[in-house]
Amino acid sequence: MNLSAAEGATPLDPDTLAGLIPDLATQEELNAFEQQNIALTVRWALRSRTLRQELLTAHGLRLLHQRMFDQTWQWAGRFRTVGTNIGVDWPQISVQVASLCADIAYQIAEGVGSPDEQALRLHHRLALTHPFPSGNGRHARLAADLLVRQQGRPLFSWGTLLGATLLWKRHRFGRRIWPRCGRRTQGTSSRYGALRVRDGRGRRDAAQGSKQRATTGGCPYP
């Protein structure tokens, strides 16, 4: 199989690749297959009673990942047991995920920050923890969308530089950049593809922030 990791993605080691379920030949085929798997999951996740009650638990986050990739990878929904070039040391994953869930639950209960800020903190820390062998960015974005939807807010539009630049700036410099995130995306079938960072127009899109609205078919994650 001719696989090359997308820019910013974690390279897949041989043991991880051994868990591939479908018979695929190229990275493009894998991307398309994962996209279909995720599209089916989005419909389920937005209606799931289990996730409404358990999203902010290790079980709920693992269940979400498992459903996103259950037709693609045998290890879907399992925390990684190997070191990677990003993320916490794998023995610390369970502790870090439990701490994250408890922190966000507390912030919601005590009204610390807006629902948007709470969801984006969830996204940011999930991505930094990198609990799964692959699919962490897509999983974190969907988890954040589910959290804001549960609080009566519209889904994020996930501008092209959000994960790579805006959240990094918030972590690095402590800036309150959350209100710049685009909102009100209705399409869900292609919202959670691999993150692609673009220069030029992508930077102008990010600068406009909440003035923009994503539309079905215009998703930055093809």
* pLDDT score of 212: 32
Residue from 48, 38, 44 nearest 191 by CA: 38
* pLDDT score of 158: 85
pTM of the predicted model, to two decimals?
0.73
Per-residue pLDDT of the chain (222 residues), as tens digits, is 566 555 556 678 888 899 999 999 898 999 999 999 999 999 899 999 999 999 999 999 999 999 999 999 999 999 999 999 899 999 999 999 999 999 999 999 999 999 999 999 999 999 999 999 999 999 999 999 999 999 999 988 886 444 433 443 444 444 433 333 334 334 444 556 544 333 333 333 333 333 232 322 333 222
* pLDDT score of 7: 58
Q: Which amino acid is at 22?
A: P
What domains are there in the chain, each with its CATH number? 20-211 (1.10.3290.10)
Residue 171 to residue 210: CA distance in whole angstroms: 20
* pLDDT score of 15: 87
